[in-house]
Amino acid sequence: MDRVYHILEESGADDFLVRETHTRAREAFFIGQKLDMGRAKEVTHTTVTVYVDSEDGTLRGSATKEIHPSGTEEELRQEVAQAVFAAQFARNPWYPIAEASSFDGPQAGNDLNEELAKIVKAMQAVRAGENEKVNSYEIFVNQTRTHIRNSRGVDVSFSSVACELEVVVNARKNGHEIELYKDFRFSKKPAEEITAEVEALFAGGRDRLNAAPTTQHEHAGLILSGDAVAEFFKYFVAHSNVANKYMGYARGEVGTRMTGGEADPLNICLVPVLPGSTKNEPYDADGRPVIERTLYENGVLKSFWGALQYAHYLGVGDTTTLNNAVISGGSQSKEQLYAMPHLEVRDFSDFLMDPISGNFGGEIRLGYESDGTSCHPVSGGSVSGNYEQALQHMQFSRETKQIDNFIVPKVVFLPDVSVAGN
């Protein structure tokens, strides 16, 4: 870091930022419950951003480049010089960089083998039924130390932990086997919870084996209940982002209501730390402290979030980054929402949400059709809808759950979506 910082000081750049991450990781890959491969890594990445201003100070160019620490002094100087040269042509209206701050967070110091062993043990404890099995899983345990310095006195260091567990399970019936997939991301998760959540996948597998084809319906009530719930709420996050606003397609206006009068009140708060989340860094990529911020209150946008450059352009300079988002529960219980006729989609092939057009949907891997009293599993076909309509009448459950760095209502009810099926 010191060598690169010194070269940047002498580079002629008007400002600069250097971000160094040092990551140690342990990984284990399993087929069934047998070890397929063990992996480990130790890598350092040093990325610099150089800023070059126009003579009159109204424009600022920048270029971002990874500098390889294995390079010689001459190579590093040459790479920085190339970045400075390119930056003078990538000019945008002038913007500031983060002001001085200093922080030296505690080292994580976890024993990576021990952390890996905890997750392995949780997976080995999974009890499969006669017609179910763990097909395969992959475990990643990453521990990263980040150091950010800039030319205005930012000098912050902190540690973070990110784990990933990708699990595939199978269920079988009459010689026909299907699979269910789940990607867990967390910094810390009790072993019993991991075991229980994987075992819960088996129930979905059994239902999928008994699923009927989805019924076609041009105006169905839709309940989202799986990981798609977090994706659904990312629409509101996208429309309150300063970069998207500056680019001209975010709809958010401070003080303006995004949701319809009949929709449940939308309340979204950004929080720097959420237990178990993989996104708990105290400083953002610009080196600014991550702070708590209310994005939406009762459907009304209260503030934007995002990078300093765009915040400056929009005149909302005190934005913060998004580490974790808490979306409050709605007005009704989960049971009340399930009491309405609906199609619940628990598992999509891939739930797509396009913040520009407002379209959302995906293929149904596992759903449940219900008249409000009884339900049966369905599979196949697809759901498509648009936020323009969804915003007017969407309802959320009072109960919430955590999906990595998002706390979201357990279920979302949308009264009018199109379902392609039989």
Partner 1 sequence: MQVKMSDYLAQVKPQMKELLRLLRQEFAYASVLCTDVTGTTYRAGQRQISVMDNRFNERGFVVRVYDDGSYSEYSFNQYEDVETLARTITDTLKGELRMLKELGIAQMESPLIHEEALERTMAGEVGMDPHEVSPEEILAHLKRISDAGAAHEGVIEFQALAAFTQVNKLFLSEQKELLQSYAYAEGMETVIGAGNGKQDMAYQSFSGLKGAEILEEMDGSVELAIAFLRDKLNAEPVKPGMYDVITSPEVTGLIAHEAFGHGVEMDMFVKERALARDYIGKQVASPISSMKDGAASASEVSSYLFDDEGTLAGDTTVIDHGTLTAGISDLLSALRLGTKPTGNGKRQTFERKAYARMTNTFFAPGEDDLERMIASISYGYLLEGMDSGMEDPKHWGIQCAVALGREIRDGKLTGRTVAPVTLTGYVPDLLKSISMISGDQKLFGGGMCGKGYKEFVKVSDGGPYLKCKVRLG
* Residue whose CB is less far from partner 1, 7 or 337: 7
- The answer to the question of residue 70 lying near partner 1 (CB under 8 A) is yes
Q: Please state the φ and ψ torsions of residue 239, each to the nearest 5 degrees.
A: -80, 0
246 or 396: whose CB is closer to partner 1?
246
- H or E stretch including 7? helix 2-9
For the beta carbon of residue 127, count every other beta carbon within 10 angstroms. 10
Residues 354-393 binding partner 1 (CB under 8 A) are 354, 356-359, 361-363, 365, 380-384
Amino acid at 237: V
Structural contact between residues 367 and 221, judged by C-beta atoms closer than 8 angstroms = no
Sketch the per residue contact string, 216 through 245, with partner 1: x for CB under 8 A, - otherwise.
x-x---------------------------
Q: Are 93 and 58 in contact (CB under 8 A)?
A: yes
For the segment 170-189, give every residue that binds partner 1 (CB under 8 A).
Answer: 170, 177-179, 181, 183
Among 76, 120, 126, 148, binds partner 1 (CB under 8 A): 120
Q: 27 or 297, CB closer to partner 1?
A: 27
206 binds partner 1 (CB under 8 A): no
* 321-350 positions binding partner 1, by CB under 8 A: 349-350
For residue 154, give the H/E element and its range: strand 154-173
Closest approach of Cβ 168 to partner 1, in Å? Answer: 6
Among 4, 87, 263, 322, binds partner 1 (CB under 8 A): 87
DSSP track, 262-312: TSPPP-EEEES--TT-S---SB-TTSPBP--EEEEETTEE---BS-HHHHH
**Residues in binding contact with partner 1, number by CB under 8 A:** 80
| List 54, 58, 78, 92, residue binding partner 1 (CB under 8 A) | 92
Piece of 96-104, 114-122, 232-240, 279-287 that binds partner 1 (CB under 8 A): 114-122
Contact 151, 240 (CB under 8 A): no
CA torsion sign for 75, 76, 81, 82 is: positive
Q: Which one, 264 or 369, has the nearer CB to partner 1? A: 369
